[in-house]
Amino acid sequence: MSNAPAFTALQVMQDAPVIPVIVLNDVAHAVPMARALVAGGVRMLEVTLRTPQALACMEAIARDVPEAVVGAGTVRSKADAQAAANAGARFAVSPGYTSAVGQACRDLGLSLLPGVATGSEIMMAQEDGFTQLKFFPAMQAGGPAMLKAWSGPFFDVKFCPTGGVTLQNAPEFLALPNVVCVGGSWIVPADAMAKGEWDKITQLAKDTQALRK
């Protein structure tokens, strides 16, 4: 595999106003859910490594929904990154940052959005060449006010706030010059997936397009 990523982290962030944070418990839901999101204009899909089925779900989406770009969330180790790449992931999102995870993603050709919650973590990620970062958990770690404070010392960093972000508070984040997109789970509600309400997920994805700056 070439270690040049198919998409840069900035391209992943710029594709739509929201990157869906997806928790899948049933492989049968993966493909219809991905198709529903793509139909609503959302194609960068962060499937979190929080369930035993996550990797199989990534494989199914990568195989059967070529218009979607599968990403792996909750990447915490080199082994996670390798498993995600093997399953067809083309970008990775981590809840925190370590140099080992950063190097593993580079070696595998996975664009990485490293998670940060403090100035020191931003500096560690920057030292390793990462300037597009996930601010997590966004609301618990200071929300829009923290991002405004960071815009001075970290003027060259762009963020994707994730954690506690909703359709209601997303506009406040997206209005900030250092925010490119947000991450949110509200586009893929567990009850809608359980009931197979794919049209609802498409509509939720379409609703996010109005958030575009």
β-strand 91-93 against 111-113: which pairing, if any?
parallel
Cα-Cα-Cα-Cα dihedral sign, residues 37, 38, 40, 44? positive
46 as an active site residue: the answer is yes
Question: CA 54 to CA 57: how far, in whole Å?
Answer: 5
Measured between alpha carbons, how far is residue 150 from residues 65, 88, 119, 141, 175 in Å? 38, 34, 8, 12, 15
Of the listed 67, 78, 127, 134, which one is catalytic? 134
158 as an active site residue: the answer is no
3 state SS for 48-88:
ECCCCCHHHHHHHHHHHCCCCEEEEECCCCHHHHHHHHHCC
Residues marked active site are found at 46, 134
